[in-house]
């Protein structure tokens, strides 16, 4: 009897001993893993600090990872902050942790440096690998999948850049002259006429209209037709779930990404498996993401994007005219027969091109009409040129809209791109040790951020107050925070760089891409560059043939917090403009 009672106690004791031994073993394993990471990270971090020793730290960010705290604090004015920490320095650095090689950045803006890592050393610099050391790319990858903005090439790729090359090759098929003068021309004209018709309604002209929303709807409708073969009409007020979800997802992703930098770097070093992993995953990050309202919003909107993408793919494949369709989605699905990539790959690729094809052109048009609506003289010169060269009733094509035919319109577009680049900042990761022009050493694993070449030429006087009167005619307060983070503000190259002067582009000479990297440079040059300018010209001509614009007084104009540079008025991303018939 006594023996029978002792058996459960013995089993219980053995279970506790096994549990204790298991915990001790896991503790030893965890301690060894963390110690290994610390030693490895410290050694790599020390190597990076030594190689970067000659590059000065950005202002106020000498301490390791101090820049992350400042970036979070200045998230709503990120471009102001980048200017302030780099003022007067053609190259500077942000220092990472002493025990982790992640977080090291080199910020540069001289044209020869940009040419070096976008062209001359193309294979060395590409997008980073999603990991605990590169937390930015974890969320970019989750949002954009394996598209053109996330897939790697050169030394950073697993396939010698084949996927990246295939994406470029297939995408290039749609950007040919035949499509410009047929499919694209017809779509852009049709959608521009719809926007003009909407803005011409008497009820619309009774109140200031959000012109930026109009441009985003115009470009979304155009892209849905050209990229997906679907005819949408958001310009006229119809809902587009894909576009709405896309906007909401990228806004939530950006907020969550910035909040998560320090956590991901710390967790990937100090928490053992399964709480963290080298890829940046693990239970800790799962819990961190799950408890974040912005992350939940992000995943909810991402689910809508995937549902809509599934629908578009299914409808495209079921189309009896599928084999003869020339929209971008159809081109990729047709190529699946020869190039064995997945349907998810196709959806990711087209999603990436939404950013390139919709947001960038909409931002260009928004800032362009901001300048037009606050400067009556610029608007009058555009009206006069269009009335002479491209009046209502005449067709619009590549030749009739060229810089030779409409030089002032072309100049206004380039001056807008100079002052208000749709994508204000970009970055690449070095996958091998390198030396930049000027002898600056860059260690493997460093993130290169290309921002403006900022020079302290007459700027402190302009910075003596934060807002300026836009013009006497509109009385609108304008926050000039955004005016310094484009390389086009080099006062040596562009005298009086803060002024909007289209005349500086007449006669037009195309600037070298590494000096004017709005459309990237080298092998990465934007495939849709000509399409974007063509689309913007058609929209501008159609609207200016019939309408005049005046900026609503009292707005405080700045920029939003998305990947692309939206116009923001107060706490809303909008551009309120009075629209009147001519």
- Residue 39 has a CB neighbour count (10 Å cut-off) of 11
CA–CA separation, 154 and 144 (whole Å): 20
CB under 8 Å to 26, separation ≥6 — which residues?
272
Dist CA 233 CA 452 (whole Å): 38
Within 13 A of 74's CA, how many CA atoms are on the CB side?
Answer: 16
* Upper half-sphere CA count for residue 265 (Cβ side, 13 Å): 22
Which alpha helices (H) appear in 271-423, and where do they start and end? 283-290, 293-318, 328-335, 343-354, 360-374, 376-389, 407-419
Residues forming a β-bridge with 428 = 448
* Distance from C-alpha of 241 to C-alpha of 547, rounded to nearest angstrom: 30
Q: 531 vs 59, 147, 374, CA distance in Å?
A: 39, 20, 27
Query: What span, in angstroms and rounded, lies between the C-alpha atoms of 115 and 103?
Result: 24
Q: How far apart are CA 245 and CA 167, in angstroms?
A: 24
What would you report as the CA-atom Rg of the chain, rounded to the nearest whole angstrom?
27
3-state DSSP call for residue 559?
strand
Task: Report which of 361, 353, 352 is spatially closest to residue 218, judged by C-alpha positions.
Answer: 361
Residue 526: φ, ψ to 5°:
-65, 120
CA distances from 146 to 143, 151, 337, 341, 432 (A): 9, 5, 19, 11, 23
Give the CA distances from residue 461 to residues 79, 246, 442, 464, 490, in Å, rounded to whole numbers and listed in that order.
19, 40, 35, 5, 17
Q: Which among 416, 79, 449 is positioned nearest to 215, based on CA atoms?
A: 416
Q: Determine the Cα angle at 175 with ends 169 and 180, to 5°.
A: 165
Instruction: Note the Cα 125 to chain centre separation in Å.
Output: 18
Q: What angle do CA 530, 513, 510 make, to 5 degrees?
A: 65
Omega before 186 cis (within 30°)? no
CB atoms near residue 179 (< 10 Å) = 16
Q: Is 526 annotated among the ligand-binding residues?
A: yes
**What's CA 487's distance to the chain center, in Å?**
17
N-terminal to C-terminal alpha carbon distance within the chain: 106
Binding-site entries for heme: 526
Binding residues: 526
């Amino acid at each position: 009897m006594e023996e029978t009672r002792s058996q459960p106690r013995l089993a219980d004791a053995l279970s506790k001993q096994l549990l204790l031994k298991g915990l001790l073993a896991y503790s030893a394993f965890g301690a060894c893993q963390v110690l290994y990471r610390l030693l490895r990270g410290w050694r790599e971090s020390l190597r990076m600090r030594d190689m970067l020793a000659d590059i000065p730290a950005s202002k106020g960010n000498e301490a390791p990872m101090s820049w992350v705290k400042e970036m979070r604090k200045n998230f709503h004015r990120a471009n102001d902050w980048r200017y302030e920490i780099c003022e007067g320095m053609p190259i500077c650095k942000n220092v990472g942790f002493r025990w982790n090689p992640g977080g090291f950045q080199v910020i540069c803006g001289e044209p020869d440096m940009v040419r070096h890592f976008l062209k001359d050393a193309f294979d060395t610099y590409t997008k980073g690998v999603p990991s605990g050391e590169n937390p930015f790319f974890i969320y970019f990858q989750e949002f954009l999948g394996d598209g053109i903005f996330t897939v790697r090439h050169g030394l950073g790729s697993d396939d010698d850049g084949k996927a990246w090359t295939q994406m470029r090759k297939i995408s290039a098929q749609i950007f040919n002259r035949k499509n410009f003068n047929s499919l694209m021309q017809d779509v852009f004209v049709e959608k521009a006429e719809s926007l003009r018709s909407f803005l011409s309604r008497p009820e619309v002209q009774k109140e200031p209209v959000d012109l930026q929303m109009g441009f985003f709807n115009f470009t979304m409708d155009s892209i849905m037709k050209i990229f997906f073969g679907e005819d949408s009409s958001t310009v006229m007020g119809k809902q587009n779930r894909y576009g709405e979800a896309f906007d909401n997802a990228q806004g939530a992703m950006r907020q969550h990404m910035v909040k998560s930098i320090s956590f991901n770097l710390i967790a990937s070093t100090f928490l053992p498996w399964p709480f963290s992993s080298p890829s940046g995953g693990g239970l800790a990050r799962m819990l961190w993401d799950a408890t974040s309202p912005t992350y939940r919003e992000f995943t909810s909107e991402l689910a809508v994007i995937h549902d809509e993408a599934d629908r578009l793919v299914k409808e495209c494949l079921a189309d009896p005219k599928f084999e003869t369709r020339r929209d971008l989605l159809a081109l990729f699905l047709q190529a699946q027969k020869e190039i064995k990539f997945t349907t998810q790959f196709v959806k990711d690729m087209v999603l990436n091109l939404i950013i390139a094809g919709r947001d960038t052109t909409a931002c260009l048009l928004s800032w362009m009409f901001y300048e037009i609506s606050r400067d009556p003289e610029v608007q009058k010169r555009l009206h006069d040129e269009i009335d002479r060269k491209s009046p209502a009733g005449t067709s619009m094509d590549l030749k009739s809209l060229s810089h030779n035919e409409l030089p002032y319109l072309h100049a206004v577009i380039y001056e807008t791109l100079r002052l208000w680049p749709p994508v204000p900042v970009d970055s690449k990761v070095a996958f091998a040790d390198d030396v930049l022009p000027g002898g600056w050493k860059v260690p493997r694993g460093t993130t290169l951020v290309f921002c403006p070449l900022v020079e302290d030429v007459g700027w402190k006087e302009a910075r003596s107050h934060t807002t300026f009167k836009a013009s006497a005619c509109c009385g609108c307060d304008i926050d000039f925070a955004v005016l310094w983070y484009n390389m086009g503000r080099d006062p040596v190259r562009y005298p009086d760089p803060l002024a909007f002067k289209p005349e500086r582009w007449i006669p037009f000479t195309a600037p070298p891409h590494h000096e004017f990297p709005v459309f990237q440079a080298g092998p990465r040059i934007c495939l849709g560059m000509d399409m974007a300018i063509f689309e913007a010209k058609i929209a501008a001509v159609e609207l200016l043939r019939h309408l005049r614009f005046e900026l609503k007084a009292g707005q405080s104009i700045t920029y939003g917090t998305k990947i692309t540079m939206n116009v923001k008025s107060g706490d809303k991303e909008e551009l309120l403009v009075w629209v009147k018939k001519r």
